[in-house]
Structure 1
């Protein structure tokens, strides 16, 4: 075949391949556009995507550490040239042209004072002129700052959008305040549980230790170490969560100290499934139940009694119970206690119940079975898998079996 014919054939083949590639590429574009939906659906997705990315960054307020990143998303959301976030103190965070910083504070103050969006026309800079729309951020009815969008020109749509975004930012600030309030409440409840470690218990523990100093120094030393372990764990200042194993270690120390006082009058039985030892639980959520059983169940019962601690594997959940055969609780009194009444009575039960409901939902509150003279059974049910919740590191000086001697 002549060389010219070969070249023509090759050129035809290449042209055909290119045409086929173009057709396939166009087909992919058409298919992709159908998968993404209509223009309206794509615009909706983009808006929601930008809002979701900015949401958590705004929980600390318009002047928070993540304000710069949030401003980037809000600027894209509004489609403005530059954007300024101004907090309640007047601090300005700019996304875009830094030249707007000089006027953003003044515009934010005017919008905050009026309580509604404001428009400023013909703002002059060295090399250009622009407009601005400013809207106040009103969180819980109080000014938390303002958002200022710069564009040339500012149209009615941008003014309305800036006001809506400011209201949305206010909602994120309120959610951040709610999160902070919940954290403060949880810390207050933990402090209340720590306060439940009564001077009476400390006095009795030290008295028991003192009674062994001359007769059994080794026993006295062991009890001193148990007292140190118990107080170190109970008063630690880091971590909202721990594990079942760590709670059991604290209970072990607590019961050793109480047995030094009660002697054979206090008996303990355990039924612990190894699979649940690593389950994350709120700090001081099991130990107060045991302390409640000793103080309110057995201490006033002649002859003492038995406490049974159970941690069972129940599929996706760990079921933990503390049962005593003590004097029991009047159901009417128990209802008042769990409802927040009867201050000073069964503080441990009330606070543990409230914290479990806060963390896991109302369906995970304490279940209590009791009556006068019939003992008390307290049960809690927590998920074994809890993404995002991390237990504070364990004390490496202690062994990890979580056992309590019966």
Structure 2
């Protein structure tokens, strides 16, 4: 929610009269809150408005559904202090808080159709003929996401009120902002899923073919070795193509790396030497799924390129105060720093760097700009990649089964 929308919302609702707000806060006074704690009537009403809005926001961040509308409608009605309030999508009433649903529910969709068609709010008399019905007047305001009408908020009152028209409009705009944030969350999730699919696609057919070819070569000469490698291959692909969770533990990620290394070592033999130095205290740390394997793959690829002598890959994971630090280093051919810059800037034509860019981008999205990859390299000087992951970060929690042993 923008500061402008928040200010307008508070101003409109305070101007509405503050009766509901003050009534609720007076009730709290009766239960032990001192008058001095409430400040002036305007301050008390403003605080009530902000508090109620904060309670309505979380359900709306799930999008406009029956469940989210049901949970939010009571809070939104309290904000406006109206006789009743309803939320609709383009086809039906999702939630109705207050009286009148039985005799207003079906007729109100005609007004909803009109608001959706024009994209503009409207105020109208309900012309209800039911005895003692207090819903004699209503304000309907569209709920829009990216200029697309998603539904309508309708506030009912006993009589016409210009202030309610303004307040309902501000509340509807605030709701629309929450729905836009929900759409951004969904877009972010889709982006992360797409990036993980890209990483899975990067576990190339060449690697799969080479692994299976190596396994096949051991079938007659060393059946036990072939069986071990086949199990490693099955576990590695099962982990890499799993469908649950955006995050995993460092233990699981390193276990997958170990399996990948075993398969690569079966292909390259003594030419590939790998050292893993892992501090046990960082194994439970959560991090983005499929985050380290592309970096190890990159190290092996560049470490083994254009050379006949053995290549050493070192993977270390250590505790560093609030962070867990993982370093992946090779003594290979290195990379031109300008080429590296282009890769991390996302120039997709640098095909061999898709994994580096993807991992760097996801780390920045999850932890912030200062948690991207730190890469040290030069032509002929090998490469060292450092990943710094906070041990505790809001919203980052692994969804995995057992924690495997590493090493």
Could you tell me the TM-score, scaled by structure 1's length?
A: 0.88
CA distance in 2, matches of 1:31, 1:65: 33
CA contact (8 A) 1:122 1:130 kept: yes
Q: CA deviation at 1:268?
A: 1.1
The whole-number CA distance in structure 1 between the counterparts of 2:334 and 2:204 is 21
Contact 2:248 2:287 survives alignment (8 Å): yes
Q: Alpha-carbon deviation of 1:308?
A: 0.7
- Greater alpha carbon shift after TM alignment, 102-111 vs 207-216: 102-111
Q: C-alpha separation between the residues in 2 aligned to 1:322 and 1:309? A: 5
Q: Deviations over 1:315-367 (max 9, x none)?
A: 01111111111111111111111111124222111100010011011110111
The match for 1:117 is 121
- Conserved in 2, the CA contact under 8 Å of 1:230 and 1:254? yes
Q: How does the TM-score come out when normalised to structure 2?
A: 0.88
What is the rounded CA distance, in whole Å, between the counterparts of 2:217 and 2:211 in structure 1?
A: 10
Distance 1:351 1:30, change over 3 A: closer
Superposition pairs for residues 354-393 of structure 1, below 5 Å? 354-393=361-400
**Aligned 8 A contact 2:137 2:159 in 1:** yes
Aligned equivalents of 1:119, 1:294: Cα separation in 2:
68
Structure 1 residues 216 and 73: alpha-carbon distance in aligned structure 2, compared to 1, 3 A threshold = same
CA distance in 1, matches of 2:74, 2:282: 45
Residue from 94, 97, 108 that aligns with 1:95: 97
Q: Does the Cα contact within 8 Å between 1:81 and 1:150 map onto a contact in 2? A: yes
Mapped to 2, the partners of 1:31 and 1:249 lie a distance apart of 56
Confirm or deny: 8 A CA contact 2:86 2:93 kept in the other structure: no
Aligned length: 374
Tell me by how many angstroms 1:100 deviates.
2.5
Distance in structure 2 (CA, Å) of the matches to 1:327 and 1:141: 52
Structure 1 residue 42 displacement after superposition: 1.3
- Alignment-derived partner of residue 248 in structure 1: 254
Query: Which of these residues, 199, 203, 206, is aligned with residue 197 of structure 1?
Result: 203
CA distance in 2, matches of 1:359, 1:31: 41
**What's the C-alpha RMSD, in Å, of the aligned pairs?**
1.8
C-alpha distance in structure 1 between counterparts of 2:398 and 2:63, whole Å: 28
Cα distance in 1 between the residues matched to 2:64 and 2:203: 42
- Per the alignment, residue 85 of structure 1 pairs with 87
Aligned to 1:6: none
C-alpha distance in 1 between matches for 2:107 and 2:157: 14
Unpaired runs of 5+ in structure 2?
Answer: 1-28
User: What 5-or-longer segments of structure 1 have no aligned partner?
Assistant: 1-26
In 2: Cα distance, 1:193 partner to 1:334 partner: 18
Residues in 2 aligned to 1:239 and 1:125: alpha-carbon distance in whole angstroms: 54
CA contact (8 A) 1:85 1:147 kept: yes
Matched, 1:67 2:31: no
1:179-211 Cα shifts (integer Å, max 9, x gaps): 000000000000000011111111111111111
Tell whether the 8 Å contact from 1:133 to 1:154 is kept in structure 2 after alignment.
Answer: no
**1:55-80 deviations in Å (ceiling 9; x for gaps):** 12112333342211101110111111
Q: Residues of 2 paired with 1:82 and 1:35: CA distance?
A: 31
Determine which structure has more spread, i.e. the larger CA radius of gyration: 1
Partner of 2:229: 223
Measure, in 1, the Cα distance between the counterparts of 2:31 and 2:184. Answer: 45
SS at match of 2:244: coil
Mapping 1:299-314, distance limit 5 Å: 299-314=305-320
1:112-153 residue CA offsets vs partner (Å, 9 max, x unmatched): 333322111252132136100111112211111110101111
| 1:158 maps onto 2:164 in alignment | yes
Quote how far apart the aligned CAs of 1:278 are.
0.6
